[in-house]
Amino acid sequence: MKTFCGRANPTTGALDWVEESEEYDYHQEIARSSYADMLHDKDRNEKYYLGIRAAVARVKSRGQQAVVLDIGTGTGLLSMMAVSAGADYCYAVEVFKPMAEAATRIVEKNGFSDRIKIINKHSTEVTVGPEGDMQTRANILVTELFDTELIGEGALPSYEHAHKHLVQEGCEAVPHRATVYAQLVESERLWSWARLLPLRVGGREILPPPEMGLCAGAPSVCDIQLSQVPPRQFTTLSPICTMFRVEFSQPVSSAPRQYTVPFPAVATGQAQVVLSWWDIDMDPEGTINCTMAPSWMHPDPDKYPWRDHWMQCVYFLPAEVPVTEGEAVSLTVSHDDYSLWYNLDKCSQQGGDSEHGVCRPMCTCQAHLVWTRPRFGELNDSRRTESYTQALRSLLNPDSVCLSVSDGSLLPIFAQLLGAKKVYSLESSGMFKQVIERVLQASALSGTVQVLESRPEQLAASWRAADKISLLMGEPYFSTSLLPWHSLYFWYCRTALAEQLCKDAIVMPHSATLCMVAVEFKDLWRIRAPCGSCEEFDVSAMDEMIQRSLDFRESREAEPHPLWEYPCRALSQPCKVMTFDFHQCVPEEPMKSQGSVALVRKGRCHGVALWMEYHLTDDITVSTGLAGPVSEKGNCEWSPHRKQGVYFLSSPWDSTGESQDTVLYTLTFHPHNGDITMEFTAAASD
């Protein structure tokens, strides 16, 4: 059965009606999921197996049958571990139907279908009894319900229900417990993700609205690969604090709670950020431990078990708090049934936990609802600001009539402060409009920039002919963009506004270039590596699902990834593969680019990284990808503000580095929908 879904096209801005089949969820939930990453997480899998084997042995030693309940079974891997470890029967619960179907095939392929029952329900809908889904309550509870924040996938309500209705009192649990840790730090880099900081342009200061400084910030967790934030980029202000534990073998409550840990500050500084992670003990004694601590906490960083399905958390305090070395302070973590948040108290020194006074913080200034954390970092980047102000200084004159087309951009404020005659800012939503107007008000610039909420084609129809635009500018940045080239929406806006531009109007940036480099990833390749077999179990049905979902699409696609979090080596020189001229309107015919890139370094080529470079003037270019030259060894430094595109080769290619291996590319830009279809193939040169 075919259905049609309306989607806003991030490049053209138009509403596209896309035909989808019943397999749409495969693409959304499977091909871009972390199942492959979990299956390749050897540390996780080994410790789960050791914990399950020990739990089965403890139950058997009491003369009982081992009946396992596996909630969120996914591929069925943990259930198969349980049966292999001697469990008599296993109930494997999986709510997502395509995943439950895959688990059924995997269990059958491995010969466990007589002792593993796949139940395609949410665990809270599972029934126990002669006519129920389970014949009896389980005495071993196995789960993998955790996310980077530990409880964000609803672990607490699921455990609470399971203890009440699905497992025996005093059951064994794998994992047995979880512990949440936190460390208070000062970090200029991390704090720049939390709020807009003051900046100077043209001798004037642009200030954040006062309400932004009082705002609790974005309610969602900031989950990152904290291993890529080296200790030199923050000052430690506290010891590593054990904030709270959850014992999974005992009844679990999903009620809101808070836990306070007092400590003396270990250094003087501005308390801004809390770094947090957790670990799980697979057994009651804590001898089988799986930790999410960043690599710089590991005794041997080279043996650090990388994973992307569980990372680390960064929490931002509601406001900076100055602390002095030796000063007594208290860190409080609060949680509801799905999320955590932190506060710092310089008065109370009483530790412990409480069920009172827990209220989840929410954004009240609107800025955190429209600007993402990387976007805050981008707006606060002084070097980037200098690039735009230098470009504007060279392009502006006292008669300039400027229109800025970007979401929530400060460019129109820059242009006004640098002497433009008139400045207009085109915003895509009323919320963006309000945030920019509040920044103008806080900076005593109200009325100097006219902020418009309109689509480009609507603005074109209502624009006054006497006010022709002499400078059309953009970063470009749009909140709907996922891949780097989605910001070509600026080009479509420029085309829609062609009649409103002066004959000799300046467009900034005047062009954009799509760039690429062939790369070897240290770890990111694991998320797309074939599953095949995991430990001694055949889970190739996962590969079938992923391939099926990818084949459903007309062509292979690039994926957005923040590459500053995922180290890689360049195996080729960076190269420009397609250029878009913003002096001209979007063409009617497709643009095509073909060529090859030599692999000049030895290594395993997993794919290519792609990004855009925007040419503000002939001399000033802003990159959304590489933030500097590639080192002699191929090490790359990536912009932390934007995601880059990653195209994984269907099979990795081992390069000799002797210029006899190449990556062939074919790119086609389709103006009617803004898509860039692409194909990359590694091959030996003739």
Secondary structure of 469-523 as H, E, C letters: EEEEECCCCCCCCCCHHHHHHHHHHHHHCHHHEEEEEEEECCEEEEEEEEEEECC
* Cα 191 from Cα 358, distance rounded (Å): 24
Q: Which two tokens stand for residue 235?
A: 């000052």
Which of 20, 29, 153, 457 is flagged as catalytic? 153
Contact 224, 372 (CB under 8 A): no
DSSP 638: B
Selection from 367, 365, 366, 414 nearest residue 394 by Cα: 414
Contacts 24+ apart (CB under 8 A), 433-440: 434/366, 435/209, 435/366, 435/367, 435/370, 435/371, 435/408, 436/408, 436/409, 436/412, 438/209, 438/211, 438/365, 438/366, 439/196, 439/206, 439/207, 439/208, 439/209, 439/410, 439/413, 440/413
Q: Which of the following is catalytic: 94, 144, 520, 557? A: 144
Closest CA to 507 of 598, 374, 614, 590: 614
Q: Do residues 409 and 449 lie in contact, with contact meaning Cβ atoms separated by under 8 Å?
A: no
Residue 144 annotated to the active site? yes
Instruction: For residues 439 and 519, give the distance between their C-alpha atoms in angstroms, rounded to a whole number.
Output: 41
Which residues partner with 647 through β-bridges?
Answer: 608
Distance CA 471, CA 502 (A): 8
DSSP three-state, residue 143? strand
Q: How far apart are CA 529 and CA 523, in angstroms?
A: 10
Catalytic residue set: 144, 153
